[in-house]
Structure 1
Amino acid sequence: MTDIIAVRREGDANRGAYRAGVPGGERDAELTWVARGEARIANHTYVPPAARGHGIAAALVEALVDDAREQGFKIVPQCSYVAAAFRRHPEWSELRADTPN
Protein backbone atom coordinates (compact mmCIF):
# COMPACT_ATOMS: atom_id res chain seq x y z
CA MET A 1 0.00 0.00 0.00
CA THR A 2 1.50 3.29 -1.00
CA ASP A 3 -0.68 5.43 1.27
CA ILE A 4 0.38 6.17 4.80
CA ILE A 5 -1.64 4.13 7.26
CA ALA A 6 -2.87 6.22 10.18
CA VAL A 7 -2.82 4.15 13.37
CA ARG A 8 -4.83 5.28 16.41
CA ARG A 9 -3.96 4.16 19.92
CA GLU A 10 -6.82 3.54 22.34
CA GLY A 11 -7.00 2.17 25.85
CA ASP A 12 -5.58 2.57 29.31
CA ALA A 13 -2.87 0.93 31.42
CA ASN A 14 -4.72 -2.42 31.46
CA ARG A 15 -5.86 -2.98 27.89
CA GLY A 16 -5.94 -1.26 24.58
CA ALA A 17 -5.94 -1.41 20.84
CA TYR A 18 -4.20 -0.08 17.79
CA ARG A 19 -6.77 0.76 15.10
CA ALA A 20 -6.67 1.88 11.50
CA GLY A 21 -9.58 3.00 9.39
CA VAL A 22 -10.25 1.00 6.24
CA PRO A 23 -11.67 2.93 3.28
CA GLY A 24 -15.17 1.68 2.59
CA GLY A 25 -14.96 -0.76 5.48
CA GLU A 26 -17.69 -1.22 8.04
CA ARG A 27 -15.11 -2.04 10.70
CA ASP A 28 -11.64 -0.75 11.51
CA ALA A 29 -8.58 -2.96 11.39
CA GLU A 30 -7.32 -3.62 14.91
CA LEU A 31 -4.64 -5.16 17.07
CA THR A 32 -5.75 -5.62 20.68
CA TRP A 33 -3.63 -6.15 23.78
CA VAL A 34 -3.91 -6.68 27.53
CA ALA A 35 -1.28 -5.76 30.10
CA ARG A 36 0.33 -8.35 32.36
CA GLY A 37 3.08 -6.99 34.55
CA GLU A 38 5.68 -5.24 32.42
CA ALA A 39 4.38 -6.88 29.23
CA ARG A 40 1.58 -6.35 26.76
CA ILE A 41 -0.03 -9.49 25.41
CA ALA A 42 -0.91 -8.92 21.75
CA ASN A 43 -3.95 -11.19 21.64
CA HIS A 44 -5.86 -10.40 18.44
CA THR A 45 -5.33 -8.83 15.03
CA TYR A 46 -8.11 -8.26 12.52
CA VAL A 47 -8.22 -6.65 9.09
CA PRO A 48 -11.45 -6.67 7.05
CA PRO A 49 -11.17 -9.20 4.20
CA ALA A 50 -11.36 -6.61 1.42
CA ALA A 51 -8.40 -4.70 2.91
CA ARG A 52 -6.04 -7.63 3.51
CA GLY A 53 -2.69 -7.75 1.76
CA HIS A 54 -2.10 -4.00 1.88
CA GLY A 55 0.20 -3.77 4.91
CA ILE A 56 -2.42 -2.63 7.40
CA ALA A 57 -1.80 -5.41 9.93
CA ALA A 58 1.95 -4.86 9.59
CA ALA A 59 1.47 -1.15 10.36
CA LEU A 60 -0.48 -2.04 13.51
CA VAL A 61 2.29 -4.37 14.72
CA GLU A 62 4.96 -1.78 13.91
CA ALA A 63 3.08 0.80 16.00
CA LEU A 64 3.06 -1.65 18.92
CA VAL A 65 6.78 -2.32 18.48
CA ASP A 66 7.55 1.41 18.28
CA ASP A 67 5.63 1.99 21.51
CA ALA A 68 7.45 -0.90 23.20
CA ARG A 69 10.77 0.70 22.34
CA GLU A 70 9.66 4.16 23.48
CA GLN A 71 7.79 3.10 26.62
CA GLY A 72 9.97 0.18 27.72
CA PHE A 73 7.47 -2.69 27.79
CA LYS A 74 7.85 -6.19 26.37
CA ILE A 75 5.46 -7.92 23.98
CA VAL A 76 3.95 -11.39 24.27
CA PRO A 77 2.96 -12.29 20.69
CA GLN A 78 -0.04 -14.50 21.52
CA CYS A 79 -1.85 -13.64 18.27
CA SER A 80 -0.64 -15.76 15.34
CA TYR A 81 -0.12 -12.71 13.09
CA VAL A 82 2.02 -10.91 15.68
CA ALA A 83 3.99 -14.12 16.33
CA ALA A 84 4.67 -14.46 12.58
CA ALA A 85 5.76 -10.80 12.43
CA PHE A 86 8.26 -11.45 15.23
CA ARG A 87 9.64 -14.44 13.29
CA ARG A 88 10.07 -12.22 10.20
CA HIS A 89 11.84 -9.54 12.26
CA PRO A 90 14.55 -11.10 14.45
CA GLU A 91 15.75 -7.56 15.23
CA TRP A 92 12.69 -7.26 17.50
CA SER A 93 13.83 -10.17 19.71
CA GLU A 94 14.81 -7.90 22.61
CA LEU A 95 11.19 -6.72 22.81
CA ARG A 96 9.73 -10.21 23.07
CA ALA A 97 8.52 -11.61 26.39
CA ASP A 98 7.56 -15.25 26.05
CA THR A 99 5.64 -15.19 29.30
CA PRO A 100 4.13 -12.20 31.07
CA ASN A 101 6.02 -10.85 34.08
Structure 2
Amino acid sequence: MTQHEVHDNKEARRYEVQTPAGLAFAEYRPAGPAVMFTHTEVPEALEGQGVGSDLVKAALDDVKAQGKKVIPLCPFVAAYIGRHQEYLDLVDPAQRGALGM
Protein backbone atom coordinates (compact mmCIF):
# COMPACT_ATOMS: atom_id res chain seq x y z
CA MET A 1 0.00 0.00 0.00
CA THR A 2 1.33 3.42 -0.91
CA GLN A 3 0.95 6.65 1.03
CA HIS A 4 -0.08 8.53 -2.11
CA GLU A 5 -3.05 7.88 -4.37
CA VAL A 6 -1.72 6.79 -7.75
CA HIS A 7 -3.88 6.98 -10.87
CA ASP A 8 -3.16 5.40 -14.27
CA ASN A 9 -3.94 8.14 -16.78
CA LYS A 10 -4.22 5.82 -19.77
CA GLU A 11 -4.89 8.67 -22.21
CA ALA A 12 -1.64 10.44 -21.25
CA ARG A 13 0.17 7.10 -20.80
CA ARG A 14 1.45 7.85 -17.36
CA TYR A 15 0.87 6.95 -13.74
CA GLU A 16 0.17 10.09 -11.74
CA VAL A 17 0.07 11.42 -8.19
CA GLN A 18 -1.53 14.80 -7.66
CA THR A 19 0.12 16.69 -4.77
CA PRO A 20 -0.20 20.23 -3.40
CA ALA A 21 3.23 20.91 -4.93
CA GLY A 22 2.17 19.69 -8.38
CA LEU A 23 1.90 16.55 -10.44
CA ALA A 24 4.32 13.64 -10.07
CA PHE A 25 4.27 11.11 -12.89
CA ALA A 26 5.88 8.08 -14.47
CA GLU A 27 5.50 8.01 -18.25
CA TYR A 28 5.16 4.71 -20.06
CA ARG A 29 4.59 3.18 -23.46
CA PRO A 30 2.90 -0.14 -24.16
CA ALA A 31 5.38 -2.54 -25.80
CA GLY A 32 3.53 -5.74 -26.66
CA PRO A 33 3.59 -7.97 -23.56
CA ALA A 34 5.55 -5.32 -21.64
CA VAL A 35 5.33 -1.75 -20.40
CA MET A 36 8.27 0.53 -21.16
CA PHE A 37 8.86 3.20 -18.50
CA THR A 38 10.56 6.18 -20.11
CA HIS A 39 10.56 9.07 -17.63
CA THR A 40 9.63 9.83 -14.03
CA GLU A 41 9.22 13.31 -12.64
CA VAL A 42 8.48 14.57 -9.13
CA PRO A 43 8.05 18.24 -8.16
CA GLU A 44 11.34 19.54 -6.83
CA ALA A 45 9.78 20.48 -3.49
CA LEU A 46 8.87 16.81 -2.93
CA GLU A 47 12.12 15.14 -3.96
CA GLY A 48 13.41 12.70 -1.34
CA GLN A 49 10.04 12.43 0.40
CA GLY A 50 8.97 9.07 -1.04
CA VAL A 51 6.51 10.33 -3.65
CA GLY A 52 8.51 8.89 -6.55
CA SER A 53 8.96 5.57 -4.76
CA ASP A 54 5.24 5.31 -3.98
CA LEU A 55 4.45 6.18 -7.58
CA VAL A 56 6.80 3.58 -9.07
CA LYS A 57 5.74 0.90 -6.59
CA ALA A 58 2.08 1.36 -7.50
CA ALA A 59 2.90 1.38 -11.22
CA LEU A 60 4.97 -1.82 -10.95
CA ASP A 61 2.27 -3.51 -8.88
CA ASP A 62 -0.30 -2.61 -11.54
CA VAL A 63 1.89 -3.92 -14.37
CA LYS A 64 2.49 -7.13 -12.41
CA ALA A 65 -1.27 -7.55 -11.83
CA GLN A 66 -1.76 -7.29 -15.61
CA GLY A 67 0.74 -10.13 -16.12
CA LYS A 68 3.08 -7.93 -18.13
CA LYS A 69 6.84 -7.37 -18.05
CA VAL A 70 8.67 -4.08 -17.52
CA ILE A 71 11.28 -2.38 -19.68
CA PRO A 72 12.80 0.20 -17.29
CA LEU A 73 14.42 2.78 -19.58
CA CYS A 74 13.86 5.45 -16.94
CA PRO A 75 16.87 5.53 -14.56
CA PHE A 76 14.62 6.10 -11.53
CA VAL A 77 12.48 3.04 -12.30
CA ALA A 78 15.58 0.92 -12.97
CA ALA A 79 17.16 2.05 -9.69
CA TYR A 80 13.93 1.33 -7.80
CA ILE A 81 13.83 -2.20 -9.17
CA GLY A 82 17.50 -2.60 -8.30
CA ARG A 83 16.73 -1.67 -4.68
CA HIS A 84 13.54 -3.75 -4.52
CA GLN A 85 14.46 -7.20 -5.80
CA GLU A 86 10.86 -8.41 -5.51
CA TYR A 87 10.24 -6.59 -8.81
CA LEU A 88 13.25 -8.02 -10.64
CA ASP A 89 11.13 -10.81 -12.12
CA LEU A 90 9.22 -8.15 -14.09
CA VAL A 91 12.36 -7.43 -16.14
CA ASP A 92 13.30 -9.89 -18.87
CA PRO A 93 16.52 -11.67 -17.82
CA ALA A 94 18.16 -10.71 -21.15
CA GLN A 95 17.64 -7.03 -20.32
CA ARG A 96 18.83 -7.15 -16.72
CA GLY A 97 22.52 -7.18 -17.62
CA ALA A 98 22.19 -4.21 -19.94
CA LEU A 99 20.54 -2.29 -17.10
CA GLY A 100 23.15 -3.28 -14.54
CA MET A 101 20.76 -5.50 -12.59
Query: Which category describes the TM-score, using the shorter chain as reference length?
Result: 0.7 to 0.9
Instruction: Give 1:22 deviation, angstroms.
Output: 1.7
Aligned partners of 2:9 and 2:15 also within 8 Å: yes
CA-to-aligned-CA distance 1:54-95 (integer Å, 9 cap, x gap): 111111111111112211000011000001001101121111
2:64 aligned with 1:76: no
2:46 aligned with 1:51: yes
Q: What secondary structure, in the 3-state scheme, does the structure 2 residue paired with 1:54 have?
A: coil
Question: What stretches of structure 1 of length at least 5 have no aligned partner?
Answer: none
Which residue does 2:13 correspond to in 1? 16
Superposition CA RMSD, Å: 1.9
Aligned partners of 2:3 and 2:54 also within 8 Å: no
Identity across the alignment (%): 32
Paired with 2:28 and 2:57, the residues of 1 have a C-alpha distance of 14
2:58 aligned with 1:63: yes
CA-to-aligned-CA distance 1:3-57 (integer Å, 9 cap, x gap): 9211111115xx711111121x2x3000010011101100000001001111111
Paired with 1:77 and 1:49, the residues of 2 have a C-alpha distance of 22
Which 4+ residue blocks in structure 1 deviate beyond 6 angstroms? none
Question: What stretches of structure 2 of length at least 5 have no aligned partner?
Answer: 97-101
TM-score by length of 1: 0.83
